[in-house]
Structure 1
Amino acid sequence: MTKITYSRFVLALLLVIPLSSLRAQLSERPVDLVFPLLDAANSRWFFFSSATRPFGMVNLSPDTQLEGAWGSGYRYDTDTIKGFSHIHAWQMSGVSVMPVIPSDHVGQLMMDYYSPFSHEKETVEAGYHKVYLEKYEIQAELTATHRVGFHRYRYPEQQAPSVLFHLGGTLGPSEIVDGELQQTGPRTIAGKITNAPTSRRPKPITVYFHASFEREISGIIEDNAAPHKLVTFHPSNEQELLMKVSISYTSPENAQLNMERELPGWDFENTVKEAKREWNDLLGRISIEGGTDTLRRRFYTDLWHALQGRRTISDVNGAYPDNTGATFRIGQIPLNTEGQPKFRHFNSDSFWGAQWTLNTLWGLVYPEIMEEFTQSFLQYYEDGGLIPRGPSGGNYTYVMTGASSTPFFVSAFQKGIRGFDIEKAYEGLKKNHMPGGMMSKSGYEHTTWQGGDVENYIRLGFVPYPNPHGHFGNHEKGASLTLEYSFQDWTLAQLARKLGKNEDADYFLARSKNYKNQYDKSSGWMRPKDVDGKWLEPFDPYDYGNGFIESHAAQFTWFVPHDLSGLADLMGGKVKAAEKLNMQFRQAEKLGFTSGTSHSVETHPEYRRIPINYGNQPSMQTAFVFNYLGRPDLTQYWSRKVVEKAFSALSPHLGYNGDEDQGLMGSLAVLMKLGLFQMNGGTETNPIYELGSPVFDKVTIQLNPDYYPGKEFIIMAENNSDKNYYIQHKTFNGVPLPEMGVRHFDIIQGGTLHLIMGVQPKW
């Protein structure tokens, strides 16, 4: 942007936005704009967060529902608090506590300790939660470090403070068993609980905890009828009780060490400030100007979701639980020259869909996080012989399907993130693409290797539906598996070529064309077929789940991110393909582009037939497909429409309208609002960031100097408004952009992407 043009832009901005509002925008802290209650009415166990740090081992918050992985945790429309849990993770829970007032009927209290609460007396912020327990008249405040939960309770006068520890029973996704608690000092206790195996996490995982109080303990009460225990204190004039609880998955000694290292003191207010400062440092890497207050608050809430959910499981000294072998062992993260662990080890839901979300956002803005996850996943490979697609409790869960970690690793390497052993990574990734690897296993298939049917994919060029071998796990949907494998093969071929493994590159590149075998020209859709090559009969492209994972043929047909020109050829050319997809968007718009307002209603008879669903991963790329069909105007139009209808609400009852799997939807919303996307997950050489329609007037991304040479990447959208969807002219550092976007190695040198927006489409 020239000086004259920029001056006109600023003058126009001042005329539209009151000076006081503009000053407020420039001075507001991103962390203060986060709205943790977004979509909280539709929460699942690991979704809601308040008192936690980025990727923290501790994710401390109230629970209003305790049953199951879905519909549990903090549910906004439930008016009863049933404890404050320290662990809300993928297939893990634990160390739930509740401040109470003891009564003469201890046994009754142990069984009935829940308390009503109201949102009127509640404060929820990033890194902090305050709530009033009406039953006991106790004000509870929560904050946390990475591995320590910090509690501040204010009791009524002349009451004996007590804290109940939940040591057994259902807690979210897990059955809590073998709970223990004992006093270890005048002001300390120690204990453990075990998460029993689940259908998704096949082995138990023990959580050790250490709790310290600011005043002396008077006793520990138990009742044979209940598994819980009550830690009591003498009445005093001091109404406040401070408690710290640290956890470890390896040993009681490491639980105590985590507290000693991270939170030796008792300054609650300072801990809250530090939590907010840490969040603000990460959120502040992206600064935005323009847009409404609601739009800015929603943006930073989306970004906040993109930086959590996947939880740390290693201790401050690098010890971690390894459950990948026949017996449990304690592993050790390698240490650097200063004696500190080189990386953290993680618990994580699947990277199914991460190629369109985390790959792009983390790779550009948080490369150190992307690198740390590759290091953690390689540790799993060293320990258990497979790179995971979603580990829990130090073990594989085989969640979802395919080799979804492959695009993540390839994207990191292609973007110059090299702090991991690429040869070892390639070895593990290649193993996952062959029989005996991740492509052999369907969802949660723990003891067999036939649900993924990669053998028939290799032999026949497609995955038959139904599985001719039988039933072994979840998501045995052959048509979508063919498409997944084809894309993942293409990404592995890019890495093989980069590493000079040309024979492998040719082999996996040939396999990446298998998607064509799933296309039925007579119907115009990807269509399931059986082991004999016969098309599925009867066939309805809107029949949810019939050969396609969490979707149907109309949605999954566009899952060819590596060869959209080839897909268009199958459809009769780019013009016909664009017309077909545009029709799907027009139909989907009537339902707001999502299958209802939560994942739980995705199979509703009406919602399930939506042509495009932005509430789940399989079709989240579709708005950007138009860029590859010669219609960037439709990408700009529909991506803006999707943001407006699916990702703009700021309400406890709306938010992601589907399945927000640990940052995937949050990341997608951020990228669509920035107007950036990567169709193949950033896995080609010098990946391109395709352009959509940015919603802010100016975005500044601070580049990490440890990875990238430039200082900042700026997106300037001149004449931007809620009507001006379309890019009229685009330059990068003053040079016109001939491509649909800007390349990674140009961006990381620093510079300005200048877009002139208008109301008329231009293509």
Structure 2
Amino acid sequence: MRTHCQTIDTRWGSDNHPHYSHGNTLPYTGVPFGMNYFLPQTTHEQGAWFFNPNLPIFQGFRLTHQPSPWIGDYAWCLITPITGEVTSSDLFRRQSSYSMKKALFQPHYLRIFSERYQIQSELVPSRYGAVMRFRAPEKLTLCFHAANELEDLTLTGQTCHFHILDQAHTADTSYSFYLQWQFSQPIESVTHIDQDLFLTFSSNEVTVQLGTSYLSQDMAHSYLPNLSLEEAKKEAADQWNQLLKRIEVKDAGGRDQAFFDHCLYRLLLFPQTFYETDSTGNDWHLDVTHQKIKPGKAYTNIGFWDLFRTSFPLFSLVYPDYYRRFLEGFLNTYQDTGFLPKWLAPDERGMMPGTLIDGVFADAVTKGIAPDLHENMLTSMLQTAQKTDPTQHFGRHGNESYKVLGYLPEDFHESVSHSLDYAYSDFCIATVAKQLGQTETAARYAASSLSYRTLYDAQTGFVRARSTNGNFKEPFSPTSWGGDYAECSATQATFGALHDLSGLIELMGGKKAFTQRLLDLANQKPQFDVRGYGYEIHEMSEMAQAPFGQIAISNQPSFHIPYLFRHSLHPEYTNLLIHQIRSQAFHQDFQAYPGDEDNGSLSAWYIWSALGLYPTCPGKPIYDLGLPLFKEVLLHLPKQELKICANSHTAGAYFIQKALLDGKEKQEVSHQDLLEAQVLQFELSWLPPQA
């Protein structure tokens, strides 16, 4: 019987181009939240797009830390098996075609057969390393290549170690990534060409043990798996299956279930582990900014602008044990830098608007994920909100202007999106402060969270950029992307006040007007104005290709928009949109996603939408109702099992007649009620219920 991870093809969503995304994913093989991931590299000539599923070229197994092509890779290394004479360091000259029919791309196992060399290459990961096995028709050579020179290279008998230097992004310093290699056969000869290393063995079969570390060569050595490939494969599969099975589709889901499992695999990749545990059980991590090894957990490869909306709320429900560990790591990053992180890879990148880790913390506090950390979370949120980094690398950009005006003026890039996100963060701070009994702080930040309303222009009906003296910026186009808005236009951004939907509805003139605005957005042609960026970015192209008007579901600012109909005069339209988006925008193939998958965030959106629930505002422990995809799903929650089932009279039933939680009818569902309930039952029909 095949286990969950054996049914997942990691290549789904990996057919991409810099100007058009079907996910912009890589086919990672690793363990959940691992420190390293691995994949076969197909080209070295396309920058961060070094894998294409339709190109049957094998340049070697790449150890990668790339969270996104827009971030790029770091501390990476390529190992390539070949036979014959070594004459060049050019990757093109040593690459081989591979058999796509014989290849396996699974979360826990990679297998590639090189046609040129007739070599079968296999790889199984561990959290800090891997086991590889290479079988050739004649004696084997392994080639090592990295972006930077291999430092402190040492070769002895059947071992090799070196480290790779990489550049920190928050300080003018470098950090090391240590690699320890152990071979099943003695090294017969060594060749150096340029910066590359070539090791030749007298045998035609070599098993390789790999250990890695950001802390020291000794730690890398301690992480050698010391397992056979078969033992390592079982261990990695067990790690995946234990987490994948926490959400169990009970009915025969077919291809829908296969895609659901794939999305669950994507969810469990990020954030990545960035700490190591010594022989006494103590955790240590590298403070990259200050080049110091410090105690405690750390995590990296995460952008909070992307993941706070869908991924962390899903962690809170199904993986709260991991959520707690993440919180510890993020607080350690705050201790290291004095600011909460925004985009880590491996240190702060300072990218995207806002400080949206505040949404992660507020959601954790309202759901009781780690009560002993609540005080520290509030302190770090307040400090990050109050301080200003003169380099504008950490924390809130333009913070001093925001404190005075209640919004960022137009001379700041993406000023409207920043202002909306700061207002949401102020709501999050108020929520946590209220939970901890700090009423004055809660009241102050609750009032500040409504400041986004000053950007609402009643004449046009959109949130708009304003100057320091309060004038709205001219000229204005509601479909102009960029400039004042991050990866969207005013059309989508105006619906971005997640925390104050009742206030937004009032600004728009009440529920009738709000409903009409949503209808207009969904029915409008997907046109866009490029003046903000000066060119067409891929998110514009993707919106134009999708039949969903201006919803732009491919990107985070629109994730919640289909669920806003639940707050309108036509709540049933949410179900129609969810059905259409699920069936038309997601595909069980290499072109899986309607846009950038972004480290699990779009996969989490699909999972929520398949379960029939959605966390419209993280920080409010409430889920809006949607449209369940499966007849029965079992969630293995920390204290009990929750069954989500859908009863309908026809396969085309897209409307909710009733939603019953343990027999009690619900219009929305609280997090705590889900944790304590046994059955969430949707009674569906093919026509909407009578008003």
TM-score, normalised with respect to structure 2:
0.91
Tell me, yes or no, if the aligned pair for 1:371 and 1:419 is still in contact at 8 Å. no
Partner of 2:81: 99
Asked if 1:511 is matched to 2:482, the reply is no
Deviation of 1:133 (Å) = 1.7
The one of 589, 597, 604 aligned to 1:651: 589
Tell me, yes or no, if the aligned pair for 1:733 and 1:752 is still in contact at 8 Å. yes
Partner of 2:663: 734
Tell me how far apart the structure 1 counterparts of residues 509 and 684 of structure 2 sit (CA, whole Å): 32
Tell me, yes or no, if the aligned pair for 1:555 and 1:612 is still in contact at 8 Å. yes
Partner of 2:533: none
SS at match of 1:42: coil
The one of 664, 670, 674 aligned to 2:601: 664
Residues 645/743 of structure 1: CA separation in 2 closer, same or farther (3 Å cut): same
Tell me how far apart the structure 1 counterparts of residues 585 and 499 of structure 2 sit (CA, whole Å): 26
SS at match of 1:52: coil
Asked if 1:329 is matched to 2:299, the reply is no
SS at match of 2:275: coil
Deviations 1:415-441 (A, max 9, x none): 11116522122111111222326xx87
Partner of 2:143: 164
Residues 606/212 of structure 1: CA separation in 2 closer, same or farther (3 Å cut): closer
Asked if 1:59 is matched to 2:37, the reply is yes
- Segment of structure 1 superposing worse, 298-307 or 534-543: 534-543
Partner of 1:582: 519
Tell me, yes or no, if the aligned pair for 1:588 and 1:613 is still in contact at 8 Å. no
Deviations 1:425-480 (A, max 9, x none): 2111111222326xx876xx37xx8x82122222112111122xxxxxxxx21111
Asked if 1:409 is matched to 2:361, the reply is yes
Residues 575/88 of structure 1: CA separation in 2 closer, same or farther (3 Å cut): same
Partner of 2:349: 397
Partner of 2:532: none
* Structure 2 letter corresponding to 1:381: Y
Residues 483/285 of structure 1: CA separation in 2 closer, same or farther (3 Å cut): same
Tell me how far apart the structure 1 counterparts of residues 17 and 526 of structure 2 sit (CA, whole Å): 25
* Structure 1 letter corresponding to 2:498: P
Deviation of 1:554 (Å) = 0.3
The one of 264, 276, 280 aligned to 2:226: 264
Residues 134/205 of structure 1: CA separation in 2 closer, same or farther (3 Å cut): farther
Deviation of 1:51 (Å) = 2.5
Asked if 1:75 is matched to 2:75, the reply is no
Partner of 1:566: 503
Tell me, yes or no, if the aligned pair for 2:168 and 2:288 is still in contact at 8 Å. no
Deviation of 1:83 (Å) = 2.4
Tell me how far apart the structure 2 counterparts of residues 388 and 658 of structure 1 sit (CA, whole Å): 25
Residues 673/545 of structure 1: CA separation in 2 closer, same or farther (3 Å cut): same
Partner of 2:402: 457
Tell me how far apart the structure 2 counterparts of residues 388 and 407 of structure 1 sit (CA, whole Å): 12
Tell me how far apart the structure 1 counterparts of residues 93 and 403 of structure 2 sit (CA, whole Å): 57
Deviation of 1:720 (Å) = 7.1
Tell me, yes or no, if the aligned pair for 1:39 and 1:651 is still in contact at 8 Å. yes
Quote the sequence identity (%): 25
The one of 175, 184, 188 aligned to 1:218: 188
* Structure 1 letter corresponding to 2:226: P
Deviation of 1:311 (Å) = 1.6
Tell me how far apart the structure 2 counterparts of residues 716 and 459 of structure 1 sit (CA, whole Å): 51
Asked if 1:372 is matched to 2:341, the reply is no
Partner of 2:262: 301
Asked if 1:743 is matched to 2:670, the reply is yes
Asked if 1:155 is matched to 2:140, the reply is no
SS at match of 1:135: coil
SS at match of 1:112: helix
SS at match of 1:562: helix
Deviations 1:304-360 (A, max 9, x none): 1001032212223223211232xx111222xxxxxxxxxx42112211133320122
Partner of 1:32: 6
Deviation of 1:530 (Å) = 1.9
Tell me how far apart the structure 1 counterparts of residues 430 and 74 of structure 2 sit (CA, whole Å): 35
The one of 714, 721, 724 aligned to 2:653: 724
Runs of 4+ in 1 over 6 A off after TM superposition: 43-46, 588-591
Residues 605/429 of structure 1: CA separation in 2 closer, same or farther (3 Å cut): closer
* Structure 1 letter corresponding to 2:292: R
The one of 141, 145, 165 aligned to 1:194: 165
Tell me how far apart the structure 2 counterparts of residues 627 and 264 of structure 1 sit (CA, whole Å): 54
Deviation of 1:292 (Å) = 4.4
Tell me how far apart the structure 2 counterparts of residues 322 and 407 of structure 1 sit (CA, whole Å): 24
Tell me, yes or no, if the aligned pair for 2:543 and 2:550 is still in contact at 8 Å. no
SS at match of 1:221: strand
Residues 756/203 of structure 1: CA separation in 2 closer, same or farther (3 Å cut): farther
Tell me how far apart the structure 1 counterparts of residues 302 and 258 of structure 2 sit (CA, whole Å): 26
Residues 95/536 of structure 1: CA separation in 2 closer, same or farther (3 Å cut): same
Deviation of 1:123 (Å) = 1.4
The one of 92, 100, 112 aligned to 2:93: 112
Deviation of 1:46 (Å) = 8.6
The one of 663, 674, 683 aligned to 1:756: 683
Tell me how far apart the structure 1 counterparts of residues 199 and 524 of structure 2 sit (CA, whole Å): 59
Deviation of 1:576 (Å) = 1.3
Asked if 1:714 is matched to 2:643, the reply is yes
Tell me how far apart the structure 2 counterparts of residues 606 and 491 of structure 1 sit (CA, whole Å): 30
User: How many residue pairs are counted as aligned between the two chains?
Assistant: 668
Tell me, yes or no, if the aligned pair for 2:512 and 2:568 is still in contact at 8 Å. yes
Tell me, yes or no, if the aligned pair for 1:601 and 1:607 is still in contact at 8 Å. no
* Structure 2 letter corresponding to 1:241: V
SS at match of 2:430: helix
* Structure 2 letter corresponding to 1:322: D
Deviation of 1:404 (Å) = 0.8
SS at match of 2:276: coil
Partner of 1:11: none
Tell me, yes or no, if the aligned pair for 1:89 and 1:309 is still in contact at 8 Å. no
Partner of 2:557: 618
Residues 257/136 of structure 1: CA separation in 2 closer, same or farther (3 Å cut): same
Tell me, yes or no, if the aligned pair for 2:249 and 2:633 is still in contact at 8 Å. yes
Tell me, yes or no, if the aligned pair for 1:352 and 1:404 is still in contact at 8 Å. yes
Tell me, yes or no, if the aligned pair for 2:306 and 2:598 is still in contact at 8 Å. no
Aligned runs of 1:530-541 on 2, under 5 Å?
Answer: 530-541=467-478
The one of 250, 254, 270 aligned to 2:219: 254
TM-score, normalised with respect to structure 1:
0.83
Tell me, yes or no, if the aligned pair for 2:75 and 2:177 is still in contact at 8 Å. no
Q: Which runs of 5+ in 1 are unaligned?
A: 1-26, 170-175, 334-343, 468-475, 592-598
Asked if 1:697 is matched to 2:631, the reply is yes
- Segment of structure 1 superposing worse, 543-552 or 524-533: 524-533
Tell me how far apart the structure 2 counterparts of residues 582 and 232 of structure 1 sit (CA, whole Å): 66
Tell me how far apart the structure 2 counterparts of residues 163 and 752 of structure 1 sit (CA, whole Å): 55
Q: Point out which structure has higher relative CO (alpha carbons under 8 A, 6+ apart).
A: 2
Deviations 1:650-672 (A, max 9, x none): 111x2222121111111111101
Aligned runs of 1:339-350 on 2, under 5 Å?
Answer: 344-350=297-303
* Structure 1 letter corresponding to 2:386: M
Residues 178/163 of structure 1: CA separation in 2 closer, same or farther (3 Å cut): closer
Deviations 1:604-629 (A, max 9, x none): 49839951111111111101111122
* Structure 1 letter corresponding to 2:377: A
Partner of 2:178: 208
Partner of 1:471: none
Residues 110/61 of structure 1: CA separation in 2 closer, same or farther (3 Å cut): closer
- Segment of structure 1 superposing worse, 412-421 or 492-501: 412-421
* Structure 2 letter corresponding to 1:460: L
* Structure 1 letter corresponding to 2:101: E
Deviations 1:362-396 (A, max 9, x none): 00000011111110011112222122122223x32
Residues 631/292 of structure 1: CA separation in 2 closer, same or farther (3 Å cut): same
Deviation of 1:723 (Å) = 1.9
Deviations 1:43-62 (A, max 9, x none): 89993234210011121111
Residues 298/720 of structure 1: CA separation in 2 closer, same or farther (3 Å cut): farther
Deviations 1:474-502 (A, max 9, x none): xx211111111111111110110011111
Residues 466/718 of structure 1: CA separation in 2 closer, same or farther (3 Å cut): same
